[in-house]
């Protein structure tokens, strides 16, 4: 997800979440991309501190999107409308603690002028290992390479 990889409503939605004080983090492969991993994904995984936070729906509405909270138990939470279908709402991460437990394991990145929290690469690897699905295990070498490259850069 390099510069301009997000549609305008998607980027504005993230800015609206921040402006409204909604606690969230980008997780999964999309978070890894923002930290330099060379891997591909089509979606953006969002993990919210509280999926029943009314400010999520307010932020979505502000950009012409819709928020389906999933609070009625009929379907998982989701976003749509002007936001399209690239955002996936994550309610837990395999092998990791709660959102509150993992928040210290996030880093802040600047995404086209919007500061967002992303899950640290090491925690993404831990979750991929715990999920153990073939597609998750296939991502681990690229994630570990990104960690090694980052660590090499830190040593310079």
CB 147 within 8 A of CB 44: no
Residue ranges of domains in the chain: 8-155
DSSP three-state, residue 23: coil
Question: Is residue 5 over pLDDT 80?
Answer: no
Write the DSSP assignment of 58-98 as a string of letters: HHHHHTTEEEE--TTSSS--EEEETTTT-EEEES--TTS--
Summarize pLDDT for 30-69 with one digit per residue, the tens.
999 999 898 888 899 999 999 999 999 999 999 999 998 8
pLDDT of 125: 97
Give yes or no for residue 10 having a pLDDT over 50: yes
pLDDT band at 77 (very low <50, low <70, confident <90, very high): confident
Listed in sequence order, the residues at least 6 apart from 150 whose beta carbon sits closer than 8 Å to its beta carbon are 35, 36, 121
Which of these, 153, 152, 155, 90, lies nearest to 124 by C-alpha position? 90
Burial of 115 (0-12, 13-18, 19+ CB in 10 A): exposed
Which CATH code of 3.40.630.30, 3.30.420.10, 3.30.460.40, 3.30.413.10 fits the domain covering 8-155?
A: 3.30.460.40
> Residues 83-130: pLDDT tens digits?
988 999 999 999 999 999 999 999 999 999 999 999 999 999 999 999
pLDDT at position 1 = 39
For residue 40, the model assigns a pLDDT of 84
Q: If pLDDT is split at 50, 70 and 90, which confidence band does 152 have?
A: confident
Whole-model pTM? 0.91
């Amino acid at each position: 997800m390099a510069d301009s990889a997000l549609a305008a409503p998607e980027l504005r939605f993230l800015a609206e979440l921040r402006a409204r004080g909604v606690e969230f983090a980008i997780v999964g492969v999309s978070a890894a991309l923002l930290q330099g991993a060379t891997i591909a994904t089509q979606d953006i995984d969002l993990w919210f501190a509280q999926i029943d936070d009314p400010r999520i729906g307010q932020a979505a509405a502000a950009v012409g999107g819709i928020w389906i909270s999933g609070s009625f138990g009929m379907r998982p939470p989701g976003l749509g409308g002007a936001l399209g279908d690239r955002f996936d709402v994550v309610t837990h991460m395999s092998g990791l603690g709660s959102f509150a437990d993992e928040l210290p394991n996030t880093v802040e990145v600047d995404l086209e002028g919007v500061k967002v929290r992303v899950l640290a690469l090491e925690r993404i690897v831990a979750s991929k290992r715990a999920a153990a699905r073939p597609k998750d295990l296939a991502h681990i070498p690229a994630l570990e390479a990104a960690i090694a490259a980052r660590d090499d850069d830190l040593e310079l």
